Amino acid sequence: MSINVEKSFVENMFSLDGKVAIVTGATGALGGAVAAGYGFSGAKVVLSARGEEKLKAYAEELDAAGVATAFFVADPADEKDVKDLIQFAANTYGELNILAACHGFNAPKNIIEQTTEEWKKIMDADCTSVYLLAKYAAARMAEQGKGGKLVITSSARSKMGMAGYTGYCTAKGGVDLMVQSLACDLTTKCGIGVNSINPTVFRSDLTEWMFDKESEVYKNFLKRLPVGRLGEPADFVGLAIFLASPASDFLTGGNYDATGGYWAC
């Protein structure tokens, strides 16, 4: 039997050399890790978030580390902002090859106390925003005729309900189904791979309190985590690079477990 895998492909299958990537939520723990990972894998990275001060500071940090970096302040739930972000990336680096949507929002509350306005804000921030980014990023990629990758951060809660999370779980469940439908829309026609990453708790400013190993919250969480610990931002990077790279060219419409085994238990 002859070998049908080329050495050059294997050596470069995770490389993002020459690619242009937009990363939303780039000042958050996961978005920041993905941006660094893409940059260190050879991509030119456009960072995006809603706050200019942190965004500018992180862009300067990545630039100092040797990553070709630009930044653009945008609300991913605002259609004009999204259009302008996509255009900025194309104007700055000539094209767009990868979109990593890493932003998110939640305001936990029992549905009886939650207002309709709060529900709409969660849905817009976590679901409508993904639709807008996918729509305009895919249009740019289709126009270029080179295919591309959409890597969407969803949640373990997309398939598991939780008290106080009616809005968030619904929005993330919608994201997972959207990813599957986008794959049907975009992969055959445009060569665009579309997949989601579904994380459980990863360390961030908002979740730091959950990492107290003496707390009952931590102890109870670990009962359903075969990996034996909560997630660190670096744990997220490998899957994000894989789904943006040639190594995942046969994969589309997938919702990929980044839960440390939480879904298994």
Residue pair 252/195 in contact by the 8 Å Cβ criterion: yes
Exposed, middle or buried: residue 168 (CB in 10 Å: 0-12, 13-18, 19+)? buried
Round to whole Å and give the CA distance between 249 and 20.
17
**Cα 63–chain centre separation:** 21
The SS3 call for residue 144 is: helix
Residue pair 152/175 in contact by the 8 Å Cβ criterion: yes
Catalytic residue chosen out of the listed positions 58, 93, 165, 168: 168
Residue 253: CA count within 13 A, CB half-sphere: 11
Please indicate whether residue 262 is annotated as part of the active site: no
Q: Which residues are catalytic?
A: 168
